[in-house]
Amino acid sequence: MYVGQTATVAGENLEIRFAEVISDSRCPQGVTCIWAGEASCLTYVTITNLGTPPYKLVLVQPGASDSASQDFDGHRISFRLEPYPVAGKTTPKSEQHLVMTVTKSVTK
């Protein structure tokens, strides 16, 4: 999903809106870095059947990983920010997007 888009989780009372990429300091491909960096994305999660305001959730992906995950209200949100940075190439913000999978956790 791209910035500004909202996804509804099928069969659940969840909506997730991708608000913005807060930062992306991941070590670009083709470069040797001392620190792998990380990408931080601001999302808003709404539990639609409660009528409460959206919950602000910052998703943080370590730079050395293919993806990351975070738990929220009995669900596991697995995500990755794409595309991964490449040395010497600037990625326009309009091309950055979150790839997400939401699964129900065994315990809440």
Percentage above 90 pLDDT, the chain: 71
- Can you give the pTM of this predicted structure? 0.88
DSSP designation for 85: P
DSSP designation for 66: S
Higher pLDDT, 37 or 65: 37
Domain membership of residue 1 (yes or no) is: no
Domain membership of residue 20 (yes or no) is: yes
Residue 108 has pLDDT above 60, yes or no: no
Percentage above 70 pLDDT, the chain: 97
Provide the number of structural domains found in the chain: 1
3-state secondary structure of 94: helix
Domain around 48: 6-104
Instruction: Tell me the average pLDDT across 3-17.
Output: 92
Domain membership of residue 74 (yes or no) is: yes
The single-letter code of the amino acid at 61 is Q
Distance from C-alpha of 87 to C-alpha of 28, rounded to nearest angstrom:
5
Q: pLDDT, tens digit, for every residue of 55-91? A: 999 999 998 788 899 999 899 999 999 999 999 999 8
Residue 107 has pLDDT above 70, yes or no: no
